[in-house]
Amino acid sequence: MIPLDPTPYPIDILPSRGGRHDVALIARDGALSFEELEGLTGRLAAAISAVGLAPGDRVASWLPKTRTACVMPMVAPRAGMVHVPINPGLKHAQVSHILHDSGARLLVTQAARASTLVAGDVPAECRIVIEDELTADDVLPPSDARPDDLAAILYTSGSTGKPKGVMLSHANLWLGAISVAHYLNISPADRVLGVLPLSFDYGQNQLFSTWAAGGAYAPLDYLTARDVVKAVDRVGATTIAGVPPLWVQLLEAEWPPEIAAKVKRLTNSGGALTPRLVRALRRQFPEADLYPMYGLTEAFRSTYLPPDLVDAHPDAMGRAIPFAEVRVARADGSRAAPGEAGELVHAGPLVAQGYWGDAERTAHRFRDAPDWADAGGKAVWSGDTVIEGADGLFRFVGRDDEMIKSAGNRISPNEIEDAILSGGEATEAVAFGLPDDRLGQAIMVVLRGDGDAEPKLRARLRTDLPGFMQPQQYIWRDELPRNANGKLDRAALKKEFLS
């Protein structure tokens, strides 16, 4: 097991620990050893430095999982910049928001993607560099940044408005990597299959935790579950990280027993596993340990359930991960008793630095840790209601906002509603999630307007919104319910369709 060394270092590649064939990265465009990966990181960092940016400038990347995409989380910080990864599934409107909100000065992407951007999408001061053109002969040495220097901004949806940027330091990323490598017991012999987007904290941490342990990371952009099966066979993957909808797809695929037996570790976040899914995963991957996890982008990850407790406690979120202090607070800020529901509060060095350019939302979510917590400083007040049992395990109760969780994505209903109303096909819209066996939640919208405009609306949204934000069902009404304040009554609509 990798030792828990709490000393944070700048995010740079660690030397190999003698892993199989010294392989660090197994990408479609070629495998790299740790030495080669270090060289590529240094060269690309030198190339970015030559562009003429200032220390602390934001460097965005909008790429599929190429070798460049895999090292960009270290390239930008090594050059003294701040990395802003953009989900490759986003469309130009969402990309534009992230570029403008972050004040990006450089966008690394591909020609085909750049051609989808329209006038005004890219800030005037932001330069676009095509991935293949990012080259240099020089090699920039490892970073001398301080642990609390800003290293990355990850954009995550909030319950209202546009996605917000969570600010992560070198220490946040480093300690997250060591924590996960430790409790997952990743070793140099492991080959971790990366199916999650690198713009997710969950996906990006796979890079850092795998390499911190000396293992090999194999990125995969997949279209079908069969692609995942073939990738496990091709690279000898020992670890798959996923979200509940992915597990549903993978369980429907055909897994030859000799391929399924290669998998030794399954990790889950982005939604709770049902007992039915747990049983099915046990049958399909009999050699694999199963790690249910709960996380917040604002604090990376909070809890995990050890594999030996999963069958006995299928409803549990588990216990705090290394370097995290997780507590339950009452509404008045006092500590909840065991078995008493309250708000999950995450304190300690994994807590992010706040939301980029948004002091108001930062002050709401990042507040002083409770006096009765061991860790001082700022804590994330999650908005999630949980219970800590007498057995020391946390159990999820519910959320205090209207976020939609679909296919592992946190989706703001307001963002969907704004996109719908921008075209004029509807005059009012309410979006919410309904339970769905495959997606976790399916997006439903109830609209006021002319239902004959639905084909036009659907066609426009296919251009304006990424696939995971597309509504599954449209309900047209002459009038929508309102509450005593005259606002659209979301709760009443949702209750109507849940009853």
> pLDDT by residue (tens digit) across 230-261?
999 999 999 999 988 789 889 999 999 999 99
Q: What is the CATH number of domain 20-388?
A: 3.40.50.12780
Q: How many beta carbons lie within 10 A of that of residue 171, not counting itself?
A: 24
Backbone angle region of 315, left / alpha / beta, with phi > 0 → left and psi within -120 to 50 → alpha: alpha
Sketch the domain layout of the chain as residue ranges. 20-388, 404-498
Cβ distance 128 to 122 under 8 Å? yes
Q: Which tens digit of pLDDT belongs to each residue from 263-290?
A: 999 999 877 788 888 999 999 999 999 9
Q: How many beta carbons lie within 10 A of that of residue 149, not counting itself?
A: 19
d(CA 28, CA 221): 10
Residue 186 dihedral angles phi and psi, to the nearest 5°: -70, 140
Nearest to 99 by CA among 81, 111, 117: 117
191 by Cβ neighbours in 10 Å (0-12 / 13-18 / 19+) ranks as buried
CA 169 to mean position of chain CA atoms: 16
DSSP 467: G
Q: How many beta carbons lie within 10 A of that of residue 397, not counting itself?
A: 13
Strand spans (E) along 416-486: 426-436, 440-449, 473-477
CA 167 to mean position of chain CA atoms: 13
String of DSSP letters for 436-497: ETTTEEEEEEEEEE-GGGHHHHHHHHHHHS-GGG--SEEEEES---B-TTSSB-HHHHHHHH
String of DSSP letters for 115-150: TT--TTSS-TTPEEEEGGG---SS-PPPP---TTSE
pTM of the model: 0.84
Half-sphere exposure of 442 (CA within 13 A, CB side): 10
d(CA 83, CA 101): 14
User: What pLDDT is recorded for position 18?
Assistant: 46
User: What pLDDT is recorded for position 486?
Assistant: 55
For the record, the structure tokens of 14 come out as 């660690």
Q: Which tens digit of pLDDT belongs to each residue from 400-459?
A: 667 788 887 878 787 898 889 888 898 888 898 998 888 889 999 999 888 899 999 999
Residues of the chain with pLDDT under 70: 1-3, 6, 8-9, 11-21, 158-161, 399-401, 483-487
Query: SS3 of 265, please?
Result: strand
From the options 3.40.50.970, 3.40.718.10, 3.30.300.30, 1.10.3720.10, give the CATH code of 404-498. Answer: 3.30.300.30
Give the H or E element holding residue 417.
helix 413-421
If you count them, how many residues does the chain have? 499
User: What pLDDT is recorded for position 483?
Assistant: 63
Q: How many beta carbons lie within 10 A of that of residue 256, not counting itself?
A: 9
Q: How many beta carbons lie within 10 A of that of residue 472, not counting itself?
A: 14
* Cβ burial 274-300 (10 Å sphere, 16+ → b, else e): beebbebbeebbeebbbbbbbbbbbbb
**C-alpha distances in angstroms, 346 versus 25, 120, 375?**
33, 39, 10
For the record, the structure tokens of 298 come out as 């604002």
Q: Which residue has the tokens 């941490």?
A: 205
Q: Which residue has the tokens 């090999």?
A: 216
Nearest to 142 by CA among 24, 38, 34, 228: 38
